[in-house]
Amino acid sequence: MATLDHDDLLPLLRALQTDIRSVLREHMRNQEPTVWSRTVRDESGDTIFGIDAAVEDILLHHCEVWGQQQHFVLVAEGLTPGGIEFGKPGLGGPPFRLLVDPIDGTRGLMFDKRSAWCLMGAAPDRGERTRLHDIEVAVMTELPTTRQSTSDVLWAIAGNGAHGERHDLGTNSSRPLAIVPSQATSLLHGFATVANYFPGGKELTSRVEEAILVRALGRWNPEKAEVYTDQYISSGGQLAEVALGRDRFVLDVRPLVHRKLGVASSLCSRPYDLATVRIAQEAGCVVCDPYGGPLDAPLDTTTNVAFAVYANQHLADQLIPIVREEVRRHLD
């Protein structure tokens, strides 16, 4: 099967995300947070808030326009679980599946606390067999709070490295943004986070985190703050933090924690939350499952995904055995 037309697809995704950012920013400036944070509907993917609904029309409009020239399937949070087909078979270039989280980090943004991200990843269409690792083009755009004047945009094409820009929203200008993960060889004096956002399994998750960090440091020094945590409620945002050199390690084992607790269905990271894994990988980060195996999942809106991100290969080589052993000890 032919791969995607990267040169055509990348600017389309960037333009769509720019439009989403602009409209959302205007929407936030003109309405109260109580409007952004109202619950619109509950679905199998996640709760959809007012701020989410504000961007759905933009996404669908762009897709309808593309569908006049190109056949593809949109898989996105908040929309039909099986995806929405645009265009007719045979129309345009190679068909693709577009995995989208219009706003990853809704809860922080809707209270104007912290920026969120718009995530998109495109993969050659292999039907229901299409997987996360098939994504060839990934783009993510920062959705800023009303207090921010800049927004970062990151993108990658498989095999061509990761690239970035910082946009000044006041002057409508941009400059290159280097994507350079930390080259630190330990977690000492760096950010390392085990996702522990919501009630349900917090105690068990904390035990896993404590065990990993104590082993990684060799001991706990009660007189020093030696490792820091950042509970950024955005999986895409966590990936960006590692890729941009701000964090060194992120682990999300919520699906394993909930399974250990006997919970059959729960809200965790979904494939659309990881649509931009390709960017972190192309930047040189190591992204895998908690056991150190390849990270993979179907391109759907319901599969829970556990993952680990290491800033560089040295940290991965050091930490993967520790993480694997502690995850097995506590969660298997």
Encode pLDDT of 232-250 as tens digits: 999 999 999 999 999 999 9
Query: 38 pLDDT exceeds 80?
Result: no
Query: 217 pLDDT exceeds 90?
Result: yes
Q: What is the CA radius of gyration of the chain?
A: 19
Q: What is the mean pLDDT of residues 130-144?
A: 97
Q: Residue 190: helix, strand or coil by DSSP? A: strand
Residue 265: band (very low, low, confident or very high) from pLDDT cuts 50, 70, 90: confident
d(CA 220, CA 255): 28
Q: What is the mean pLDDT of residues 36-60?
A: 65
- Spell out where the chain has E strands: 39-42, 47-49, 72-76, 84-86, 96-104, 116-124, 137-143, 150-157, 162-168, 173-176, 190-194, 227-228, 247-252, 286-288, 307-310
Query: 76 pLDDT exceeds 60?
Result: yes
- Whole-number pLDDT of residue 44: 52
Query: 83 pLDDT exceeds 90?
Result: yes
- Whole-number pLDDT of residue 48: 57
Residue holding tokens 């959302």?
Answer: 24
| Residue boundaries of the structural domains of the chain | 6-176, 190-331
Q: 278 with 135: CB under 8 angstroms?
A: yes
Q: What superfamily does domain 6-176 belong to in CATH?
A: Fructose-1,6-Bisphosphatase, subunit A, domain 1 (3.30.540.10)
d(CA 226, CA 244): 21
The gap from C-alpha 293 to its chain's centroid, in whole angstroms, comes to: 19
In single-letter form, the type of residue at position 207 comes to R
What is the token pair recorded at 253? Answer: 């084992």
- Whole-number pLDDT of residue 107: 87
Residues in Cβ contact with 184 at an 8 Å cutoff, skipping those fewer than 6 apart: 190, 248, 311, 312, 315
Query: 314 pLDDT exceeds 70?
Result: yes
What is the token pair recorded at 202? Answer: 């917090």
152 against 31, higher pLDDT: 152
Query: 27 pLDDT exceeds 70?
Result: yes
Query: 25 pLDDT exceeds 50?
Result: yes
Q: What is the mean pLDDT of residues 136-153?
A: 97
- Whole-number pLDDT of residue 1: 43
307 against 221, higher pLDDT: 307
Let me know if domain 190-331 sits in CATH 3.30.428.10: no
